[in-house]
């Protein structure tokens, strides 16, 4: 059960297994779960219907799930039926916690945990640039300052996740140059949280001398077409920056570049 994150897949696999072993039908399945519609669970698996939290326990019972697996299944239903981002994140974190009890990693958990804190991306860049450095030395190099314990726990996470490897000389190396957002739909929520954290760090960076930071902005009135052209230009610029990074030499300092382009008003033309 722990290997699943989509409750629809659980139901479908249970049905397929029973069908192979006997003359099991969707009608039989629905009846055992207490549904009047013979094809309701079939429609659930096809994404045409949703399973409510109230009905989850009945389906879990019909599948003969153990107490732990039934609880995990109910949480999957809560995750799949969440109406807002905070409920989805809460359910996903509960899935991860339950999976950890069984020593199993939930799909996308590494990526989710990575995007939850700005410290992960900073230490991932900093550790290879400070060969042989101790956690307290890395901590003192960070802006803002963090504790040696924070660095130590972050390094442990990055190693467990395969994002950093340490050689025989206690020197860290990145396994990949870049990291992208995974397929699990809750990961973008963690990425947005990371962007908020980085935005807060940018506010503090305003006090740095101009020789150490570059900040500028434009307030503009534009059309939707102009917006799309600017987004395209920013995408191309981001690619140019990544190309510069890939050809750059050894790291001397870790920087953060934020791309922020957002509305300051509602639409004033084109809508009534």
The pLDDT tens digits for 208-253 are 999 999 999 999 999 999 999 999 999 899 889 988 988 888 899 9
> DSSP secondary structure string, 33-64?
HT-SSTTHHHHHHTTSS---HHHHHHHHHHTT
Look at residue 20 and tell me if it is in a domain: yes
pLDDT band at 181 (very low <50, low <70, confident <90, very high): low
In a domain, 97, yes or no: yes
Whether 86 maps to a domain, the answer reads yes
Place of tokens 């340490």: 166
Average pLDDT rounded to a whole number, residues 121-135:
93
* Alpha carbons 210 and 234: distance in angstroms, whole number: 23
Count each helix (H run) and each strand (E run) in the chain, helices first: 12, 2
Residue 57: inside a domain: yes
Distance between CA atoms of 5 and 107, rounded to whole angstroms?
7
Give yes or no for residue 165 having a pLDDT over 90.
yes
Element (H, E) at 32: helix 26-33
Reported confidence tier of residue 193, pLDDT bands at 50, 70, 90? confident
Residue 181 inside a domain? The answer is no
Q: Who contacts 52 (Cβ-Cβ below 8 Å, separation ≥6)? A: 77, 81
Q: Which of 159, 1, 160 is nearest to 76 (CA)?
A: 1
Give dist(CA 125, CA 98) in Å, integer: 31
Cα(210)–Cα(200) distance, integer angstroms: 18
Our measurement of the distance from residue 94's CA atom to the centroid of its chain's CA atoms, rounded to an integer in Å, reads: 14
What span, in angstroms and rounded, lies between the C-alpha atoms of 47 and 203?
44
* Residue 272 scores a pLDDT above 50: no
Judge residue 268's burial from the number of C-beta atoms within 10 Å of its C-beta, 0-12 exposed, 13-18 middle, 19 or more buried.
exposed
Query: Is residue 29 a part of any domain in this protein?
Result: yes
165: β partners: 173
Residue 271: is its pLDDT beyond 70? no
Please give the C-alpha separations between residue 12 and each of 26, 45, 49, 77, 123, in angstroms, as whole numbers.
10, 6, 14, 14, 42
Q: Encoding tokens for residue 8?
A: 């629809």
- The domain of 27 spans 7-106
In a domain, 88, yes or no: yes
Q: Has residue 40 got a pLDDT over 90? A: yes
**Residue 115 belongs to a domain:** no
Q: Spell out where 111-220 has E strands.
A: 164-166, 172-174
Count of domains for the chain: 1
CA dihedral for 19, 22, 23, 28, sign (positive or negative): negative
pLDDT category, 266, cuts 50, 70, 90?
confident
């Amino acid at each position: 059960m722990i290997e699943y994150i989509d409750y629809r897949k659980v139901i479908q696999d249970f049905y397929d297994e029973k069908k192979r072993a006997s003359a099991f039908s969707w009608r039989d399945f629905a009846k055992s779960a207490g549904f009047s519609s013979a094809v309701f669970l079939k429609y659930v698996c096809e994404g045409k219907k949703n399973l409510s939290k109230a009905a989850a326990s009945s389906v879990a019972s019909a599948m003969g799930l153990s107490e732990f697996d039934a609880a995990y299944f109910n949480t999957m239903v809560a995750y799949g039926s969440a109406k807002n981002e905070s409920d989805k994140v809460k359910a996903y974190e509960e899935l991860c916690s339950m999976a950890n009890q069984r020593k199993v990693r939930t799909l996308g958990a590494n990526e989710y945990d990575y995007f939850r804190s700005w410290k992960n991306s900073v230490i991932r860049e900093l550790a290879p640039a400070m060969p042989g450095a101790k956690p307290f030395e890395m901590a003192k190099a960070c802006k803002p300052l963090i504790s040696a314990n924070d660095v130590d726990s972050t390094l442990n996470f990055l190693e467990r996740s395969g994002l950093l490897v340490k050689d025989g000389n206690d020197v860290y190396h990145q396994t990949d140059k870049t990291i992208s957002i995974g397929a699990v739909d809750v990961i973008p929520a963690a990425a947005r949280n990371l962007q908020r954290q980085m935005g807060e760090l940018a506010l503090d960076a305003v006090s740095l001398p101009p020789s150490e930071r570059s900040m500028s902005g434009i307030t503009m009135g534009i059309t939707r077409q102009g917006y799309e052209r600017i987004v395209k230009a920013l995408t191309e610029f981001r690619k140019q920056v990544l190309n510069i990074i890939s050809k750059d030499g050894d790291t001397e300092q870790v920087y953060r570049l934020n791309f922020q382009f957002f509305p300051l008003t509602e639409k004033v033309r084109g809508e009534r």
